[in-house]
Amino acid sequence: MTHSHNHTACVQVALTNAAQLCAERGVQLTPIRQQVLELIWANHHAVKAYDLLERIKPLQSAAKPATIYRALDFLMEQGFIHRVESLNAFIGCTDLRTVHEQLLLICKQCQDVEERQANAVMQSLADELKEAGFTAHHKAIEIHGICQNCQQ
Amino acid sequence: MTHSHNHTACVQVALTNAAQLCAERGVQLTPIRQQVLELIWANHHAVKAYDLLERIKPLQSAAKPATIYRALDFLMEQGFIHRVESLNAFIGCTDLRTVHEQLLLICKQCQDVEERQANAVMQSLADELKEAGFTAHHKAIEIHGICQNCQQ
DNA sequence: TAATGATATGTTATATTGTAACATATAGAA
DNA sequence: TTCTATATGTTACAATATAACATATCATTA
């Protein structure tokens, strides 16, 4: 994704959808929340909370950790971003309109994170959970390695 | 697992296998490392590093954070424990002799973590990764919810 | 034997990540 | 206008993790 794509369009779509969903849901995409979302969408890397804090300071000089964490909490509740558990970091969700479980492919080389629906994986996981008698509330499926673009 | 099982046997097996594998590999299961492994195996909950630090202090009064993190690093390298990324915590590995990817089922109610081989899931995941052109180095697959025993 | 090197641990300090708690502001509803 | 819900400001701190350098131990070998 770092490699050749129209990223402006990515950002545009993400922000437009977020704004519309907020309107539909009667929740507020305040300036801080929108700025955090934009900063997360600066690229396809997972971003750390304290990096966001540094980057938002020119815009919000009063920003403190809580400023960022509250915005992140909101954006996660709304499904606009995902937390990458194995990196303590965050990425923009590329699939806002679908109820889905995310499979995250995390490239060690370019740092990009790709989100995939992976329906077959989710189906066999559902089967496995049924067999185990386990009721799932949240799934974190994170694969670290080297993405297609980074392998010559 | 909290629910009715001979946990002494779990611990025994884990420690015996770890000792044997260390001997085979020519690495040292030092007192500190063994104590940390035992503390992790106190039950089937994921344990936090600083909890381990408190619990090891009666045995190792000089213990500091690095004491624990070094032991954890060793135990993870040897495959004796897993890190639960979404909890910042650690559990004993129940399947030392098999090369495997772990699916972790984390119960919100009893805190137990169950490790499953989930071969079908891993196979469809491998297919998905192949399709994505992604070379995996490490997989964190962590499902949060309610385990069979905790649902009446 | 003494020097060397590999491994493990001791120790201090600090970096990173995340939350609690209470105060203030703002805007719409009653 | 007052009330309420929501959002943000602010201070302090908790929880998680690592860096860097010192010391110890033991087997190898010069």
- B137 and A151 within 8 Å at the Cβ level: the answer is no
Pairing relation of β-strands B89-92 and A89-92?
A: unpaired
CATH number at residue B143: 3.30.1490.190
Q: Is residue B18 part of a domain?
A: yes
Residue A114 lies in a domain: yes
Residue A150 is predicted with a pLDDT of 95
The dihedral over CA atoms of A114, A81, A137, B40, expressed in degrees to the nearest 10, equals 70
**Domain assignment present for B98:** no
Q: Are B23 and B86 found together in one domain?
A: yes
Domain carrying residue B51: 7-92
Q: CATH number of the domain that B14 lies in?
A: 1.10.10.10
B72 lies in the same domain as B37: yes
Residues of chain B (22-81) having a beta carbon less than 7 angstroms from strand C:
27-28, 30-33, 60, 62-67, 70-71, 74
Residues B14 and B55 in one domain: yes
Helix (H, G, I), strand (E, B) or coil at A71: helix
In a domain, A66, yes or no: yes
The nt closest to B88 (CA vs C1′) is D16
In a domain, B42, yes or no: yes
Of B3, B116, B123, B125, which to mutate for an interface test with A (greatest number of A Cβ within 10 Å)? B125
Chain B segment 74-113 residues within 8 A of A by beta carbon are 85-86, 103, 105, 107-108
Residues A49-104: tens digit of each pLDDT: 999 999 999 999 999 999 999 999 999 999 999 999 999 999 999 988 776 788 99
- Is residue B78 domain-shared with residue B25, that is, in the same domain? yes
Q: Which tokens sit at B14? A: 């884990």
Indicate the residue type of A21: L
The pLDDT score that the predictor gives to residue B98 is 79
* Domain-embedded: residue B38: yes
pLDDT in tens, chain B (152 residues): 556 789 999 999 999 999 999 999 999 999 999 999 999 999 999 999 999 999 999 999 999 999 999 999 999 999 999 999 999 999 999 988 776 788 999 999 999 999 999 999 999 999 999 999 999 999 999 999 999 999 97
- Give the separation between CA A36 and CA A60, rounded to whole angstroms: 11
pLDDT given at position A152: 76
Residue B97: inside a domain: no
Verify that B80 and B44 share a domain, yes or no: yes
DSSP letters for B3-45: SS--HHHHHHHHHHHHHHHHHHHT----HHHHHHHHHHTTSSB
Determine the Cα–Cα distance for residues B43 and A30; give it in Å rounded to an integer. Answer: 45
One domain, residues B71 and B115: no
- Can you read off the two tokens belonging to residue B24? 């085979």
Q: Is B89 helix (H, G, I), strand (E, B) or coil?
A: strand
Residues B35 and B55 both lie in one domain? yes
- Count of structural domains, chain A: 1
Q: Do residues B74 and B123 both lie within one domain?
A: no
Residue A85 domain-assigned (yes or no): yes
Residue type, A55: R
Q: What DSSP line would sit under A94-119, residue for residue?
A: S-TTS--PPEEEEETTT-BEEEE--H
Residues A115-138: tens digit of each pLDDT: 999 999 999 999 999 999 999 999
Helix runs in A26-118, H state only = 31-40, 49-56, 65-77
Residues B38 and B64 both lie in one domain: yes
Together in a domain, B141 and B79: no
DSSP assignment letter at B68: H
